[in-house]
Structure 1
Amino acid sequence: MKPIRIIWLLLCVAGVILPMRYFLPWLSANDWDLGAMIDAWHVNDAASGLVWDLTVAAITLTVWIVWECWSTKRWLGLVAIPATYFVGVSLGLPLYLFLRSR
């Protein structure tokens, strides 16, 4: 495997572990209430700004993935879209780059 693919893969692992070590305990302590999590994301202007930053990044990544998969007919890259929305851009982007670099 090329060194860049190893880097993408390591970033995928970090992109799952780092956010989930905060999300999962919080969700567990709050009865898995996604509405409460969304409210927590908007606890102040700085947090809301970060949410909007990541939302725009996720939408941009989705458009790029769909466009490129449609153009190249390499459909495997589409798995990065649910990864982006279920975990975050921290997983979706390196996962797509990993799949794209094969």
Structure 2
Amino acid sequence: MPPFRIVLILLCVAGIVLPMRYFLPWLSANDWDLMAMVDAWHVNDASSGLVWDLTVAALTLTVWSIWESIRTRRWIGLLAIPATYFVGVSLGLPLYLLLRRA
């Protein structure tokens, strides 16, 4: 297996484990209230800036993966879209790059 592929796989694992390490305990402690989590993300200007940064990155990845999937007729890259919105860009981007090279 090429080294770049191994790096992408490791980034996918990190992109799942690192965010979920914080999200799951927080959600569990707050009765799985997603709106409370959104409110917590906007507790100050710094965190709101990060939310918007990641939102633009997620939308960019979505547009890119749709555009390239239509252009190349390789639909496997579309799996990065739910990964991005259910976990985060930290999983969606390395997964997309991994699937793109598949």
- Bucket of the pairwise TM-score, normalised by the shorter protein: over 0.9
The CA distance in 1 between the partners of 2:89 and 2:27, in whole Å, is 19
Counterpart of 1:52 in structure 2 is 52
RMSD: 0.5
Residue identity over aligned pairs, in percent, reads 78
* Counterparts of 1:33 and 1:5, CA distance in 2: 36
Runs of 4+ in 1 over 2 A off after TM superposition: none
- 1:64 alignment partner, SS class: helix
Matched, 1:36 2:36: yes
Q: How many equivalent pairs are there?
A: 102
Instruction: Give 1:74's aligned residue.
Output: 74
Q: What is the deviation of 1:6?
A: 0.7
Partner of 1:12: 12
Structure 1 partner of 2:86:
86
Distance 1:97 1:2 in 2: 14
How many angstroms apart in 2 are the aligned matches of 1:40 and 1:82?
Answer: 23
Aligned pair 1:3/2:14, yes or no?
no
- 1:101 is displaced (CA, Å) by 1.3
Distance in 1 separating the partners of 2:95 and 2:57: 15
Gaps of 5+ in 1: none
Which residue is 2:21 aligned to?
Answer: 21
Deviation, structure 1 residue 31: 0.1
Q: CA deviation at 1:2?
A: 1.2
